[in-house]
Amino acid sequence: MGQAFMQAWQEVCKKSAQPAKLLVPEGTYMSSPVIFQGPCLSSQPVIVEVKGTILANEDLSAYDEDFWFLFEKINGVILTGGGTFDGRGASAWKYNDGGSNFPTSIKMNDVDNGVVHDLCSVNSKFFHFHVTDSSNFTAYNLRITAPCDSPNTDGMHISSTCGVQVSNSVIATGDDCISVGPGVTNANIFGITCGPGHGISIGSLGKRDQEKDVCGVTFSNCTLNNTTNGVRIKTYASPIQIKASDITFQDITMNNVQNPIVIDQHYGSRKKKDSHVKISNVHYKNIRGTTPSNVPITLACSAAAPCDGIEFCDVNLDFVSDDLHTFTACCTNAKTTFSGQNKVPICE
């Protein structure tokens, strides 16, 4: 079916009629990798309406690149329809050692004004969605699922993209529900129900040369259930000098979250080498819920680039059990301020 999908796309993309639509009707279809490439002739967004279920090829040798469905070089596309993309990842997870040679289910590269809504993505071999080198991306009403032990099945990874809005979606995977990578600016992510998985993350940052700054990212009105981490910023211990600034985590509910608030600037390093990613103006506001850990805040910032302007306001966490415990904090190389009512330890 892969070739049939691409032939249908070429017919739709070449039409200037308003609107141009590719319809995948109800039913089940199996497909190898697919490329939907522009530019297209229509002045209005091209609609890809998936009503059925599309099954991925389980044979990893069928994937020459890092995607299953690729949308590329398009200005205006809407992916919707209520259907399901089934990555059939169980056949691949046992071979995944963390490398990037496994296919993302749906990748958007160099797409302006892309919209994804009312779809299901299940059991991706790697990331469910990857949006990169794009602008003005919107996603909502998504349901993204994979087993809690499935490796690298991030719900959505976003990198090198300006203007992002992701909202009102349920994500339960084996890795980050949403991860914001290098080069993301002006992102607003809200109404996400996350868990199980690794929580929501900024990063990892500082791994590769030519990375760009992260600026203006807000997560709000999100609920995390039984996740490994809550809200996390992670950077590699490397000489790469970029900035991560103006980041807000606000109105977050955490239920049984193991590590609620984390900044880890030694990510991927056993020797605690220094990261040169500068983290500043990070705001934690109205965060509430429960944790089994007595260390709800870990700020492991870098001596080479200390964290500045880390604000805590109305952060109220309780222990999962009724046993009496005392919270402690683990904070290094971080300048913090506390306001409002906080039921967490204050970093000195």
- The residues carrying an active-site annotation are 198
Q: In whole angstroms, what is the distance from residue 180 CA to residue 272 CA?
A: 23
| CA 111 to centroid of chain Cα atoms | 17
Burial of residue 157 (number of CB atoms within 10 Å: 0-12, 13-18, 19+): buried
Q: Which token pair is 133?
A: 């080198």
DSSP-assigned beta bridge partners for residue 317 = 289
